[in-house]
Chain A
Amino acid sequence: MPESELPIVVAMSGGLDSSAVAALLAREGRRVVGMTMQLWNQRRLPELASEKTTGRCCSLDDVYDARHVAEQIGIPYYVVNFEQQFEEHVVAPFVAEYLAGRTPIPCTLCNNFIKFDQFLAMADTVGAEHVATGHYARITRNELTGRYELRTALDGTKDQTYFLFGLTQSQLSRTLFPLGEKKKTEVRELARSLNLAVAEKPESYEICFVPNNDYAAFLDAYLKEQGVSAREQKGQIVSEDGALLGSHEGVHRFTVGQRKGLGIASPEPLYVIATNSASHQVTVGSSDALLRGSLVAKDVNWVSVEPITAPRRAQVRIRHRHLPAPATLYPVRDGIEIRFDEPQRAVTPGQAAVFHEGDLILGGGWIA
């Protein structure tokens, strides 16, 4: 391994994908340095602890696994501490968004402010030009415009571009996504063939700092730690015409489109249509009341193309598991107005609207 070659820093979570990335690059003879970001102290909110909480991001088990893989493939490995930055840029906004009645995406904030910012700066410190991660996404270079372009992963079931629309040209130019051209099954086979310690590790679909995906329990514990009383969060559940149907323990427990946990008997299924953090009201209604023909996306980032100045056709994804829906994008004063060809169910404030053109990610913004 030539010491003169610039190293590639691999963000290793201790999971299968990032372990495979480190192994792939090391096998190619690249000079690889593994780093795990310590983002959250799992002992901090003890009431959330349970026997099921091992194996989550930032748990000691994951650090153990990442270290083990680094040893197996023979690369230097470090744990770097970003707890303070993670709380400031990801956890606190996550909590604030829920309290404001929106449904945030912490993974996008983490990508924008931690992984492809603070972590990239850490890579600078060791003289690395590139960071590599286990994301399923592709970066290509447009030879005509000179721009880097973000494209969906070949394995559409694993595509993670919904969380990556906020990246800048500078960030894309220094990022490698070696799994973008691979299928998950191939990645697992590769890990098995290399005997990696994490080859059989199950996938995690959780928000890394929220145990068991119970974000409401996390919010309760975090608010309690911050000295915010739960009683201040209580409010009413009302129908679309304002009739009182029940009460609730806080708007942060509800997300648009939610059906379960309303605690209201009704002849037909009721869904959360809207939440209002000012009045503490949760409005519920029928499935059809969830349909919206348009939305406005704010703080738009044009990841692969120049900002548009005229209407443009695209397919728009409004949540991670949503099939991108045909729409027209209109530049408006405070963002981009998206008019769908067909109304879309559960347009949720705080989530992202990401604009596709085939496999190309044009950009995206936050649903107002």
Chain B
Amino acid sequence: MRHHYFDYNATSPLTAPVREAYFAALEEGYGNASSIHHFGQVAKQRLESARRTLASHLGANSKEIVFVSGGTEADNLALRGVAGVGDHVVVTAIEHPAVLATAAAMEREGVAVTVVPVPSSGVIDAEAIEKALRPGTRLVSVIHANNELGTIQPLAEISKVTRAAGALLHSDGVQAFGKIPVNVDALGVDLYSISGHKLGAPKGIGALYVRKGTPLRAVSWGGHHEGDRRPGTENVAGAVALAIAAETADWRQVGALRDRLEKQILRRVSDAHVNGQGPRIPNTTNIRFDGIEGEALLIALDLQGFAVSSGAACSSGSVEPSHVLMAIGLSARDARSSIRFSLGPRHTAAEVDALVDAVEKSVAHLRRISTDSHPIGRVASHA
């Protein structure tokens, strides 16, 4: 059976140009970029070249890029690097756990944290952020594109209110970067998190953009790497891969395929609804199928060769209802009835059509067995 991957928001395969550049860098750039000799210099050159390339795709200066291990580390560094005990931090209810759990940990340590609710559209407005600001608000963190809904947050408007209040603005751009144009000045962000493996680079590389002049404390200690902001021998090949991924990311065809998928599902499957409204990244749609267990639909689709996502994986690998869907007002039951489809640059219309067929068939099957007079009795209950 051929397996089709529709879970690009979870992670993505290496793209061909990335693979080539990555393996070349592993082979030829294996020196330690901090070493003084030839091998170190080659590695350092590749690292700095990658930093310049990545910066150019953010509209940033290369000195503003800190390479890290991925999105989670970037988020941790951003929050913990600028806010501490006595500060006030504002986050939204639809942040990734990398932000929410970090903020919760900081709250236990004595940082004041406000979690701003998000309306059913899945798009927060700048006024809601403004209301949460107070003297002493050090940092506001707003996800750029939500990983489950795909909704894009109005960072340019939000940054106006945070700037006016003298607060820093961080954005988790893990799902947005590479899929939509990102310019840190146009958005007005001071810190911006990036992860390589969402756009065709390998796991284990990411970056944090830190606007010049933003005081950022290190949160781990070691050598003088990354301008004393992030110690540890540099992942040169990873950085090269991330830069090439940014350079070659081409998601122009994806929007049309996502729309094709969404329209066909809504037309052919009754009682299906798109979660979230407003501007979205081009590859994501989150659809609620009334009366369906998302976990069951996910497994049924997987056994037919289609990989999609539902909710959040807990530590055992089973599914818990998504906190994002609950945050935009869905009941736990509706959240469990929802499936995220996230496409990538390699998909074809034929693949999308095959997925729609499988969804239509599986939803019909699941609804049929749940409405059949349930053949299984419930005898022998306790008195």
Residue ranges of A at the interface with B (Cβ–Cβ < 8 Å): 3, 7, 33, 36, 38, 58, 60, 63, 67, 76, 78-81, 93, 97, 104, 108-109, 112-113, 116-117, 120-122, 124-127, 165-166, 168, 170-171, 298-299, 301, 350, 364-366, 368
Q: Is B38 an interface residue (CB 8 A)?
A: no
Considering only CB atoms, which chain B residue lies closest to A77 in the complex?
B317
Inter-subunit contact B380/A116 (CB<8 Å): no
Inter-subunit contact A125/B379 (CB<8 Å): no
Instruction: Give, as a whole number of angstroms, the nearest-CB distance from A103 to chain B.
Output: 12
Contact with A along B354-383 (1 / 0, CB 8 A): 000000000001100110001111111111
Instruction: Give, as a whole number of angstroms, the nearest-CB distance from B378 to chain A.
Output: 7
Given contacts A298-B383, A366-B382, contact A63 B376 (CB under 8 A): no
A-B contact pairs, 23 of them (CB 8 A): A38-B316, A58-B316, A60-B316, A78-B317, A80-B319, A81-B295, A109-B382, A112-B380, A117-B376, A120-B376, A121-B370, A121-B376, A122-B296, A124-B369, A125-B293, A125-B296, A125-B369, A126-B300, A127-B300, A170-B375, A171-B377, A299-B381, A350-B382
Given contacts A121-B376, A165-B380, A366-B383, contact A81 B303 (CB under 8 A): no
Inter-subunit contact A78/B316 (CB<8 Å): no
Inter-subunit contact B299/A366 (CB<8 Å): no
Specify which of B1, B302, B375 lies most central, judged by the most chain A CB atoms within 10 Å of its CB: B375
- CB-CB under 8 A from B317, the residues of chain A are 63, 67, 78-79
Instruction: Give, as a whole number of angstroms, the nearest-CB distance from B161 to chain A.
Output: 39
A97 to B365, CA, bound (A): 38
Inter-subunit contact B293/A79 (CB<8 Å): no
- CB-CB under 8 A from A80, the residues of chain B are 295, 299, 318-319
Specify which of B1, B299, B374, B378 lies most central, judged by the most chain A CB atoms within 10 Å of its CB: B299
| Inter-chain CB contacts under 8 Å: number | 93
Specify which of B302, B317, B381, B382 lies most central, judged by the most chain A CB atoms within 10 Å of its CB: B382
Instruction: Give, as a whole number of angstroms, the nearest-CB distance from B119 to chain A.
Output: 27
A125 to B315, CA, bound (A): 23
Contact of A76 among B296, B302, B315, B366 (CB under 8 A): B302
Contact with A along B293-320 (1 / 0, CB 8 A): 1011101101100000000001111111
Specify which of A112, A298, A350 lies most central, judged by the most chain B CB atoms within 10 Å of its CB: A112
A168 to B377, CA, bound (A): 7
Inter-subunit contact A126/B303 (CB<8 Å): yes
Inter-subunit contact B316/A79 (CB<8 Å): yes
16 more A-B residue pairs beyond the given contacts A112-B379, A113-B378, A299-B382, with a C-beta to C-beta distance below 8 A: A7-B303, A38-B318, A80-B318, A108-B380, A112-B378, A112-B380, A116-B376, A117-B378, A121-B376, A122-B296, A125-B297, A125-B300, A126-B299, A126-B300, A126-B303, A168-B377
Inter-subunit contact B382/A301 (CB<8 Å): no
A221 to B42, CA, bound (A): 60
Specify which of A78, A124, A125 lies most central, judged by the most chain B CB atoms within 10 Å of its CB: A125
Considering only CB atoms, which chain A residue lies closest to B319 in the complex?
A81
- CB-CB under 8 A from A366, the residues of chain B are 380, 382-383
Contact of B299 among A78, A113, A116 (CB under 8 A): A78
Q: Is the interface of A mostly helix, strand, loop or mixed?
A: mixed
- CB-CB under 8 A from A36, the residues of chain B are 316
A143 to B382, CA, bound (A): 32
Considering only CB atoms, which chain B residue lies closest to A64 in the complex?
B316
Inter-subunit contact B380/A301 (CB<8 Å): yes
Considering only CB atoms, which chain A residue lies closest to B374 in the complex?
A121
Inter-subunit contact B318/A104 (CB<8 Å): no
Inter-subunit contact A125/B380 (CB<8 Å): no
- CB-CB under 8 A from A117, the residues of chain B are 376, 378
- CB-CB under 8 A from A67, the residues of chain B are 317
Inter-subunit contact A81/B320 (CB<8 Å): yes
Inter-subunit contact B380/A299 (CB<8 Å): yes
- CB-CB under 8 A from A58, the residues of chain B are 316
Lowest 5 CB-CB distances: which A-B pairs, in order?
A166-B380, A125-B296, A81-B318, A79-B318, A38-B318
A127 to B366, CA, bound (A): 9
A38 to B374, CA, bound (A): 23
Instruction: Give, as a whole number of angstroms, the nearest-CB distance from A294 to chain B.
Output: 18
- CB-CB under 8 A from A76, the residues of chain B are 302-303
A36 to B319, CA, bound (A): 12
- CB-CB under 8 A from A78, the residues of chain B are 299, 302, 317-318
Contact with A along B15-38 (1 / 0, CB 8 A): 000000000000000000000000
A141 to B293, CA, bound (A): 34
A63 to B365, CA, bound (A): 29
Inter-subunit contact B369/A104 (CB<8 Å): no
- CB-CB under 8 A from B319, the residues of chain A are 80-81
A19 to B322, CA, bound (A): 31
A122 to B296, CA, bound (A): 7
A323 to B264, CA, bound (A): 62
A171 to B382, CA, bound (A): 19
Instruction: Give, as a whole number of angstroms, the nearest-CB distance from B325 to chain A.
Output: 16
- CB-CB under 8 A from A171, the residues of chain B are 376-377
Inter-subunit contact B382/A3 (CB<8 Å): no
Specify which of B316, B370, B378 lies most central, judged by the most chain A CB atoms within 10 Å of its CB: B316
A298 to B380, CA, bound (A): 9
Considering only CB atoms, which chain B residue lies closest to A109 in the complex?
B382
- CB-CB under 8 A from A301, the residues of chain B are 379-380
Specify which of B1, B296, B300, B318 lies most central, judged by the most chain A CB atoms within 10 Å of its CB: B318
A95 to B53, CA, bound (A): 62
Instruction: Give, as a whole number of angstroms, the nearest-CB distance from B4 to chain A.
Output: 15
Inter-subunit contact A168/B379 (CB<8 Å): yes
A104 to B315, CA, bound (A): 30
A109 to B300, CA, bound (A): 27
A107 to B379, CA, bound (A): 15
A171 to B380, CA, bound (A): 13
Considering only CB atoms, which chain B residue lies closest to A35 in the complex?
B299
Specify which of B318, B378, B380 lies most central, judged by the most chain A CB atoms within 10 Å of its CB: B380
- CB-CB under 8 A from B299, the residues of chain A are 78, 80, 122, 125-126
Instruction: Give, as a whole number of angstroms, the nearest-CB distance from A18 to chain B.
Output: 16
Contact of B382 among A33, A60, A97, A168 (CB under 8 A): A97
A318 to B365, CA, bound (A): 42
- CB-CB under 8 A from B380, the residues of chain A are 108, 112, 165-166, 299, 301, 364-366
Given contacts A366-B382, A366-B383, contact A168 B296 (CB under 8 A): no
Considering only CB atoms, which chain B residue lies closest to A113 in the complex?
B378
- CB-CB under 8 A from A298, the residues of chain B are 383
In chain B, positions 263-311 with a C-beta closer than 8 Å to chain A are: 293, 295-297, 299-300, 302-303
Considering only CB atoms, which chain A residue lies closest to B369 in the complex?
A124
A93 to B382, CA, bound (A): 8
A165 to B379, CA, bound (A): 10
Instruction: Give, as a whole number of angstroms, the nearest-CB distance from B46 to chain A.
Output: 37
